Structure 1
Amino acid sequence: MKANAISAEAWAPGRLDVMGGIADYSGSLVLQMPIRQQTSVKLALRDDFICNIHSETSVGEKLSASLDYRELLDGQQVSYTYAREKLKQSWIAYIVGCALVLQQEKGIDFRGADFYIHSDVPLGKGVSSSASLEVSSMKALAQAFRLSFAGTELPRLAQQVENHVVGAPCGLMDQLASAFGAPGKLLPIICQPDKIAEPVAVPEDVYFIGIDSGVRHSVGGASYSDVRCGAFMGYSIILQSLGLDHATIEKTNPSDLPFQGYLCNISVPEFENKFAALLPERMKGDAFLSRYGVTTDRVTKVNTNTVYAIRQSTLHPIYENARVHKFMQLLKEVHHLDGTARLSYLQEMGALMYGSHESYSRCGLGSERTDEIVNLMRSHPADGIAGAKITGGGSGGTVCALAIGEEGKRAVKRVHQHLCEKYETDLVLFE
């Protein structure tokens, strides 16, 4: 049959992770900024259950795929596990996964569609190409089926696509940032799980600029999953030190557990005084399961043969949360300052970014290329570069730099040009 006319069209941007990153799943405050690059989705509904998906990037790369939507259903029912096995992390899972989630959670009668996707959010750069695709696909399907969403429902459903259909253990930060980010402002999100505060304006002469490292990032990578899992293992050890047994932890709603279920509700002094010494530097999965039995994470599972860096994975989100709160306080106050006091505040914000970057590396989520970029930034403080850090899930992707004034912006661009020439490739600059 022929497809119907276009039923809906929607778009959503990628995001630059300024502060917070991988602390999101532990309940941290994070600060996110939308980027200019975005993903648009047009769709035309069908009634023969065929899904035709056509995707094109800004550099002309084209992908196409077709499938019968009924092949993703277990009988006539939606089963995320069944669909995930059928899709095997294919790129189309991010799109048809939205239909599956909306059928399951909102009751849409989805019978196929033609999807036309255009994106200039580059893949694997740590700027949430997947979230922008999920959010724009969700928006388009919502238009087509005349759905309405309350509060943060749409990004939460988009996260379900990534967690349960794609099979990537991301937090909610990326989808919230793509759905609610405002240009020229940082979006504060307390990831417990989705408390959004008023966006914070960035001063006109302060710039957060992303430099693509050229090293592809994947949130589905083993190291990201291991660090996330290690953080939840550390939380379980802390809970059991407080007298909870693993059976109680398993059957209790996380929000009813100590610290409301989030590591980041433990302050740095309390962590240092009560819990840090309890955490093993490293522990193999089978030893953890034998002794502690369970974590509260519903997305990752403890692998018996993996050795987890539990202490660093646990302390990172606690210290990062403190860094982000301090960063936001300084950003709000810098609007009212000038001269040396203002410069001092911006430099302190930059130092917090460098601290975040170093903590990523201790978790095992650094890379030689992102370290090189951060070190190049660090060598140019007199040129107006105050700070830099790896972003998102780490292990490559993008570095976010804090530049002061036009001089700082030019210095970042010189670093970018140097890297493009050195590696003989076009690296994306996110402004």
Structure 2
Amino acid sequence: MSSDNFFVNNTNPRFTQSTFECLDVMGGTAEYAGSLVLFTPVQTCISIILALRNDTTIRLYKQSTTAFPDFQIDISALLQQDRTVNQSILCDITASHYTTGLVAACIVLFSIQQNIALTGLDIYIQSPLKQTETESEEEALAISILKALAEANQIILTENELPMLAHTALQLLSLHHFPLVNTLASYYVKPGHILPILCQPDHVSSTFIIPEGLGFAAINLGPKSNKQSTLRGQAYTAASIGYTMISLYDGTYPHELDKARKTGNRENLLYNGYLANITPNEFDNRYKWLPKHVQGSTFLEKSGILIDPALSVFPDISYPVFQATVYPIYENIRAQYFSLLLQHMPETDEVERRQKSLQQLGNWMFQSHTSYAALGLSNPVADRLIQLVQQHLGKGVFGARLTNSNTENNVCILWEGQQGYDTIQAIYQMISQEEQSPISLHFNR
């Protein structure tokens, strides 16, 4: 169905908005510990056309799918008399049609925040959205919806107000945690640029241009397994255990950690409450005594305090404390160096210096993946893809790593020039032939 046909009975003004999906180039798997994360947009773009209605009905058409492309529902009962969200009704809508649930969450939260009447809308989604959206697609869609709602209501949202609202909408619907940094990236990222965000908690820096001739590709290997998701949560908890052990060792009182957990204020804690603020030298000189594993029951008996209120320690789990603690410390340094070198790349006519710089960037990406995989967070297909990139070094590709996502296995690859572009296409064909599950390739914008 064309957009004109979809809106044929709605004569209200239409508003179009687009948002790029994001790829974290470096640092994204250590955001939980305060690392610098570098983002760039990929080719896929979530575009919507939206028109307000004169009732409280949501009517949605998703161009990219044949399964339930057209969905309609009344949301009048979604906003309760005390102007809070009726979670039960939102859950019912989401269970019937997830995308409509996300649209509904955005509408009702926008209505509450701006203190305006709840209004329905017609929304036409022009994008590569699949029947089951990826995390990055959901973030981009929420941003696009709220951009269009603000424009339609002639409301200017301040600074981080819009991405914060999108993040809240996503959290209302999701069983897994959406890091705010990813939603901020979807909002602030620019084509052809790198966006640095320091996750302490979320300091957005100015974007910088990707050097001419360089690019980043993303190969999506499909959903993460339940085992990967479980181990990821355990790694986050293990890192928080490591921070508690380091803090207590250096004289922090338990009540100070407990206060930070309750208030969210980490400023007065050791290293401002973030592992990423420990330098590799400091860790090697002061904290290498950390045990490889800590049993949950042992930690709970001795202190049991984590400064992250979203995390819990389970007594029967053995947590990989050493590796989970050391990973963000080194990943943050790699991301910092990566950013600096990328901003000071030798020109294309300085062939030898440029090649050495590209090799160094690639080495940091490989180191990132190796350290991440040591936590059990990779998978055989991603490791095989990294191996294929390593086998093609010298052919325009320089490094690769599994990126940060709660739900998807995305591998980011650094490439240069036509040779690199062709090599990535060849690698993509190889891995596609080897694997039975759907695999997709995207390049940065």
Q: How many residues align?
A: 428
Contact kept in structure 2, 1:162 and 1:168, CA below 8 Å: no
Separation in 2 of the partners of 1:120 and 1:277? 49
Distance 1:402 1:60, change over 3 A: farther
1:386 aligns with 2:398: yes
What aligned pairs does 1:249-268 form with structure 2 within 5 A after superposition? 249-252=257-260, 253-268=265-280
Separation in 2 of the partners of 1:88 and 1:202? 39
Q: CA deviation at 1:219?
A: 12
Separation in 2 of the partners of 1:250 and 1:352? 36
Match of 2:429 in 1: 417
Match of 2:208 in 1: 200
1:293 to 288, 304, 308: 304
1:225 to 220, 229, 233: 233
1:36 aligns with 2:43: yes
Secondary structure at 1:168 match in 2: coil
2:336 to 322, 325, 337: 325
1:134 aligns with 2:145: no
1:56 to 63, 67, 73: 63
Unmatched runs of 5 consecutive residues or more in structure 1:
none
Distance 1:293 1:91, change over 3 A: farther
Aligned letter for 1:151? E
Separation in 2 of the partners of 1:220 and 1:106? 39
Separation in 1 of the partners of 2:223 and 2:30? 22
Identify the range of structure 1 (261-270 vs 272-281) with the bigger mean alpha-carbon deviation.
272-281
1:273 aligns with 2:280: no
Separation in 1 of the partners of 2:61 and 2:298? 47
Q: CA deviation at 1:178?
A: 1.4
* Cα shift readout 1:60-93 (whole Å, capped 9, x = no counterpart): 5554444443554565442587677656774444
Match of 2:167 in 1: 159
Aligned letter for 2:84? V
Contact kept in structure 2, 1:233 and 1:310, CA below 8 Å: yes
1:102 to 110, 114, 134: 110
Aligned letter for 2:208? V
Distance 1:404 1:179, change over 3 A: same
Q: CA deviation at 1:325?
A: 0.7
Aligned letter for 1:264? A
Q: CA deviation at 1:370?
A: 0.8
Distance 1:296 1:218, change over 3 A: same
Unmatched runs of 5 consecutive residues or more in structure 2:
1-8
Match of 2:21 in 1: 14
Match of 1:347 in 2: 359
Identify the range of structure 1 (141-150 vs 348-357) with the bigger mean alpha-carbon deviation.
141-150
Separation in 1 of the partners of 2:90 and 2:227? 16
Distance 1:368 1:144, change over 3 A: same
Distance 1:83 1:197, change over 3 A: farther
Output the TM-score relative to the length of structure 1: 0.87
* Cα shift readout 1:209-249 (whole Å, capped 9, x = no counterpart): 11222445799943333333333333233333333344332
Aligned letter for 2:37? V
Separation in 2 of the partners of 1:104 and 1:238? 42
Larger Rg computed on CA atoms: 2
Secondary structure at 1:278 match in 2: coil
Contact kept in structure 2, 1:169 and 1:225, CA below 8 Å: no
Match of 1:240 in 2: 248
Distance 1:100 1:225, change over 3 A: farther
Contact kept in structure 1, 2:56 and 2:75, CA below 8 Å: yes
Match of 1:315 in 2: 326
Match of 1:5 in 2: 12
Contact kept in structure 2, 1:47 and 1:111, CA below 8 Å: yes
Secondary structure at 2:344 match in 1: helix
Distance 1:79 1:309, change over 3 A: farther
Output the TM-score relative to the length of structure 2: 0.85
Match of 1:188 in 2: 196
Q: CA deviation at 1:421?
A: 2.8
Identify the range of structure 1 (182-191 vs 351-360) with the bigger mean alpha-carbon deviation.
182-191
2:84 to 78, 83, 95: 78
Separation in 2 of the partners of 1:218 and 1:41? 32
Separation in 2 of the partners of 1:112 and 1:66? 10
* Cα shift readout 1:357-416 (whole Å, capped 9, x = no counterpart): 112212222011111111000001121221111112277522111112211221111111
